[in-house]
Amino acid sequence: MKRGETLFLIVILVIFAFVPISCNRLSFTIKTNLLASTEDSFEKIIDISESLELEIRTQKGNITIRRGEDRKVRINSKFRVYGTSKDKVEADAKAIKENPPIELKGEKVIIGNLKRYNLDRWFSEENVTMDFEIYAPAKTSAYIVTGLGNVNVESLAGSVKVNAGLGSIEIENIAKVDAKSGSGDIKITGINEGVSALTGKGNIELKNIQGNINTKTGFGNISIDSEIEDDKKWIMESGLGNIMIWLSPDDNFSFSLIAGTGNIQIEDFNAEFTSKTERKLEGKVGTNPTASIKARIGKGNILIKKQEVRTRIKI
């Protein structure tokens, strides 16, 4: 794991050690000494060009982005303000509702900046949980940063980059994806131009991916169900968990598979081995393959198998 990725995970874990929270897949509960809270919502519709770049930054809250109308972006938000004074949280909620945290800069829409309300500090007496549901044109790219929250993005022709501290990430039918979570599952389906996925603790599931793949999890399984194209590189790494790869019967590829503790298997394919030990398999499937698969695991099993009928297997 690269130094930058390691530092990202360390920072996230340190933050979580001092922030008293609990979460599930759909909601977040703030466990603090704050005595007052109020809930409200807003909707804003912005006319834009056909192409759009979204930048979304939240401390706490779930984010969903779906394809909507051309030349419009519709932003819906439900939010809750917490604090020590009922009057203060109601005043803050009113300010957010009347002047939502949305800025338009050219073809970029910036969402979620709470600095204008002085509510952007992690350990202040007031804080905000803000969920977003956004409908955007097809030609939209998104950059999403959230401290605590789940992210779901569907059916956009642009690229999506996500940095989540704690929360699951689900992305479907996107051009290109770069997804990171300090702790949470990552599920990505139907990508045209490649995937990079990193989670400190959680499973990574990829399906129907075109392009290169680079995935890492500290604690969790990695599963890939896809064809591998010529000249593409798939790289997978897990500290503790299984790596399971289902490929098309016609796929040709070279492979390097390493397991510190566990089993390594290639089933159904006519593989030619150049190195075969208890902990390492290297070789190729097909004549002069240009695609490559590299998988490394600390403790767990590695399986590559043909998948003519799309049913899951457990190892």
| pLDDT one-digit tens code per residue, 170-192 | 999 999 999 999 999 999 999 99
**pLDDT confidence of residue 2:** 52
- The answer to whether residue 272 sits within a structural domain is yes
Q: Say whether pLDDT at 288 is over 90.
A: yes
Of 85, 119, 138, the one marking the end of a domain is: 138
**pLDDT confidence of residue 246:** 95
Q: Are residues 306 and 206 in the same domain?
A: yes
**pLDDT confidence of residue 31:** 46
Q: Say whether pLDDT at 116 is over 50.
A: yes
More reliable by pLDDT, 245 or 6 = 245
Q: Are residues 266 and 314 in the same domain?
A: yes
Q: Are residues 182 and 278 in the same domain?
A: yes
Q: Are residues 65 and 203 in the same domain?
A: no
* Mean pLDDT score, 152-158: 95
Please answer whether residues 284 and 255 qualify as being in contact, where contact means their C-beta atoms are separated by less than 8 angstroms: yes
Cα 236 from Cα 11, distance rounded (Å): 23
Q: Dump pLDDT digits (tens) for 94-103.
A: 999 999 999 9
- Residue 122: pLDDT band with limits 50, 70, 90: low
- The answer to whether residue 1 sits within a structural domain is no
* Mean pLDDT score, 148-162: 96
Phi/psi region, residue 287 (left: phi>0; alpha: psi -120 to 50; beta: rest), is beta
* Mean pLDDT score, 278-307: 96
Rg for the chain, CA atoms, rounded: 22
- The answer to whether residue 20 sits within a structural domain is no
Q: Which of 34-43, 176-185, 292-301 has the lowest mean pLDDT?
A: 34-43
**pLDDT confidence of residue 313:** 38
Average pLDDT, the chain: 88
**pLDDT confidence of residue 237:** 97
What DSSP line would sit under 126-138, residue for residue?
-EEEEEEEEEE-S
Q: Map tokens 């297997």 to a residue.
A: 313
- The answer to whether residue 12 sits within a structural domain is no
- The answer to whether residue 150 sits within a structural domain is no
What's the whole-model pTM score?
A: 0.85
- The answer to whether residue 274 sits within a structural domain is yes
Q: Say whether pLDDT at 267 is over 70.
A: yes
Q: Are residues 225 and 100 in the same domain?
A: no
Cα 315 from Cα 142, distance rounded (Å): 36
Q: Are residues 172 and 292 in the same domain?
A: yes
C-alpha angle 179/226/146, rounded to 5°?
10
How many domains, in total, are found in the chain? Answer: 2
Q: Say whether pLDDT at 281 is over 90.
A: yes
Domain span at residue 249 reads 168-315
Q: Say whether pLDDT at 30 is over 70.
A: no
Q: Are residues 216 and 262 in the same domain?
A: yes
- Residue 13: pLDDT band with limits 50, 70, 90: very low
Cα 159 from Cα 140, distance rounded (Å): 8
**pLDDT confidence of residue 107:** 83
Of 138, 158, 190, the one marking the end of a domain is: 138
More reliable by pLDDT, 99 or 314 = 99
Q: Are residues 107 and 232 in the same domain?
A: no
**pLDDT confidence of residue 227:** 94
* Mean pLDDT score, 14-34: 44
Q: Dump pLDDT digits (tens) for 207-228.
A: 999 999 999 999 999 999 999 9
Q: Say whether pLDDT at 14 is over 50.
A: no
* Mean pLDDT score, 190-197: 96
Q: How does strand 280-285 pair with strand 271-276?
A: antiparallel
Q: Are residues 243 and 306 in the same domain?
A: yes
Q: Are residues 224 and 102 in the same domain?
A: no
Q: Say whether pLDDT at 50 is over 50.
A: yes
Q: Are residues 310 and 264 in the same domain?
A: yes
- The answer to whether residue 149 sits within a structural domain is no
- The answer to whether residue 29 sits within a structural domain is no
Q: Say whether pLDDT at 263 is over 70.
A: yes
